[in-house]
């Protein structure tokens, strides 16, 4: 089946990670061009080497920290300059932060929010002019299963009195410690 991705210009933030590389490989198999972004140069290079074994000329790397707005703008501009535009943005940067309200301090929350909320928003803001110029585009944001369906598994079942982020209907029971989540 032709997905209509041939020659599309794809930027994947977090493209050097596990899901990022798998996603990049799928785009390449469809004939798209792929730029992978991350902070660690060595990890980016290693990922790109694996992808280039599949499609040597269709892979770019770009180093950027999504928490830094100026780096996000530079990342988007660099990729768009090489390919004369952008068609697809896949936001994957960041990792799952697991824990309960009493495990996670404010710094952990900020790091996650700066990457996966503000960083994603900034990258979207930066790609929009290029997509408008191209007459359209696609944006995919990967946040986490809990974004769609909060689960009690994020907290420890052994200690049901610990506050976490269970489905709303269970929230009060968990806080009271009257039942296991």
Ligand X SMILES: NC(=O)c1ccc[n+]([C@@H]2O[C@H](COP(=O)([O-])OP(=O)(O)OC[C@H]3O[C@@H](n4cnc5c(N)ncnc54)[C@H](OP(=O)(O)O)[C@@H]3O)[C@@H](O)[C@H]2O)c1
Residues near ligand X (CB under 6 A) are 13-14, 16-20, 38-40, 43, 64-67, 92-96, 115-116, 142, 144-145
- In whole angstroms, the minimum distance from the beta carbon of 57 to ligand X comes to 22
Are the beta carbons of 25 and 54 closer than 8 angstroms? yes
- In whole angstroms, the minimum distance from the beta carbon of 67 to ligand X comes to 5
Euclidean distance between CA atoms 124 and 90, whole angstroms = 10
Q: Which is nearer to ligand X, 110 or 178 (CB)?
A: 110
- In whole angstroms, the minimum distance from the beta carbon of 6 to ligand X comes to 25
Are the beta carbons of 119 and 72 closer than 8 angstroms? yes
**Residues ≥6 apart with Cβ < 8 Å to 149:** 167
Q: Which is nearer to ligand X, 17 or 181 (CB)?
A: 17
Q: Which is nearer to ligand X, 14 or 160 (CB)?
A: 14
15, two tokens: 């493209």
- In whole angstroms, the minimum distance from the beta carbon of 90 to ligand X comes to 10
- Cβ-closest residue to ligand X? 17
Q: Which is nearer to ligand X, 97 or 134 (CB)?
A: 97
CA-wise closest residue to 107 among 77, 67, 136: 67
Q: Which is nearer to ligand X, 23 or 160 (CB)?
A: 23
Euclidean distance between CA atoms 20 and 128, whole angstroms = 21
Are the beta carbons of 34 and 5 closer than 8 angstroms? no
Strand, helix or coil at 137? coil
- In whole angstroms, the minimum distance from the beta carbon of 45 to ligand X comes to 11
């Amino acid at each position: 089946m032709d997905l209509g991705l041939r020659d599309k210009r794809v930027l994947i933030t977090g493209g050097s990670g596990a899901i990022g590389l798998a996603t990049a490989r799928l785009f390449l198999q469809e004939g798209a061009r792929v730029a992978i972004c991350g902070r660690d140069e060595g990890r980016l290079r290693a990922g790109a080497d694996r992808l280039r074994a599949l499609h040597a000329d269709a892979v770019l790397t770009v180093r950027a920290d999504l928490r830094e707005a100026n780096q996000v703008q530079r990342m988007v501009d660099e990729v768009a300059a090489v390919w004369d535009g952008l068609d697809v943005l896949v936001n994957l940067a960041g990792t799952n932060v697991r824990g309960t309200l009493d495990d996670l301090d404010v710094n952990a929350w900020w790091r996650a929010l700066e990457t996966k909320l503000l960083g994603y928003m900034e990258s979207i803001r930066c790609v929009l002019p290029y997509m408008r110029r191209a007459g359209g585009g696609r944006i995919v944001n990967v946040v986490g299963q809990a974004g769609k369906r909060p689960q009690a598994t994020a907290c420890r079942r052994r200690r049901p009195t610990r506050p976490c982020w269970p489905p709303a209907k269970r929230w009060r029971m968990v806080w009271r410690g009257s039942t296991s989540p």
